[in-house]
Structure 1
Amino acid sequence: MVTKGRRSRTSFTEEQLEILVQAFSQNPYPGYTAKQRLAVEINAEESRIQIWFQNRRARHGFLKRPKKKLDPSKDHASPKEKIQGKQDRRCRTSYTSSQLQTLKNAFTENPYPGIDSREQLAEKIGVPESRVQIWFQNRRSRLRIQRKRGLEGALDRRQNQGQDL
């Protein structure tokens, strides 16, 4: 059995931190491609870069992503802007039915797997560990919503039955 636990803390060198801090000062909300470039530049995983930016924003009191002011005269973005925006997003991960079945079985056993379990699962189904982690987060969220709706539905039925009497 694999022991649950956290991933070991990522330590960045002074040179890596300088690059990250400089990138943060230019844009505290980098897109996926920018994080990928940084990961290659400093020889680290993109997921670790993402976490570093999240933590840095939290430490510096960033509340929300700044909203872009919309100019009513420019209702539509130029094709170039649309393409560039799409590049910054990570591609949606598609799972095969066998991958999904493996993930569902693992979720049934433990909805909060540790890093070791996630890494084994990722290797088994052939996707990055970060995608497995996101799948579990989304699945837990979906389960909470379904339970909440189920409770609301049960309360509505009880109230309706009480009115019928």
Structure 2
Amino acid sequence: MNRRRSRTKFTEDQLKILIGAFNQKPYPGYATKRKLASEINAEESRIQIWFQNRRARYRPQRVSGPEKALESSREQDGAEKEIQSREDRRCRTSYTSFQLHTLIKAFMKNPYPGVDSREQLAQEIGVPESRVQVWFQNRRSRFHVQRKREAAEVSGQSQD
């Protein structure tokens, strides 16, 4: 059964801390998210999702005219910050052949596993559930791109 994760509900005190951190830095690094998670007693993956949702909700409106040039220079500053923030990223997760085999087998059975299945898989292969979730997201994306490419090749061959 595909059970969704229950909605994370933060207390007022937790939200004050998260909002304060967001106002200081809307794109916190991995270390900052871990520190916040420890401070408010929540999973780092839930902190990451909260920041993503908050950024999406408070995305600035697009502007035109003279403000556009100012925005362009801000975007360049953002690119510099992005390069700097790469240092704050989580280390890339490497999987053993056993782990990959187990993940691929599970993907073949169900490309959209619920949280229960992901937690069981995570325990079986010894990685956090959040990494299993990301692995499935990435695998589905690659799978769709591959299917489009194969469809384009088939339609290209039939035209010859």
How would you bin the TM-score normalised by the shorter chain? 0.7 to 0.9
1:99 aligns to 2:93 (yes or no): no
Residues 52 and 130 of structure 1, relative CA distance in 2, 3 Å threshold: same
TM-score calculated relative to the size of structure 1: 0.81
- Tell me the TM-score normalized by structure 2: 0.84
Judged with a 3 Å threshold, the aligned counterparts in structure 2 of structure 1 residues 20 and 7 are, in CA distance, closer, same or farther, namely same
Greater Rg by CA: 1
Name structure 1 gaps, 5 residues minimum.
71-76
- Which one-letter code corresponds to 2:142 in the other structure? R
SS in 1 for 2:76: coil
Mapping of 1:105-144 within 5 angstroms?
105-144=105-144
Say which structure is richer in helix.
2
What does residue 69 of structure 1 align with? 77
**Residues of 1 paired with 2:59 and 2:92: CA distance?**
30
- Structure 2: gaps of 5 or more residues: 62-73
Query: Residue 40 of structure 2 is aligned with which of 34, 39, 42?
Result: 42
Task: Please report the RMSD computed on the Cα atoms of aligned residues, expressed in angstroms.
Answer: 2.1
For 1:142 and 1:112, how far apart are their aligned partners in 2?
A: 14
- Counting aligned pairs with the same residue, the percent is 64
Give the number of equivalent residue pairs.
146
Shift of 1:68: 3.4
Aligned twin of 1:155:
155
Distance 1:62 1:10 in 2: 25
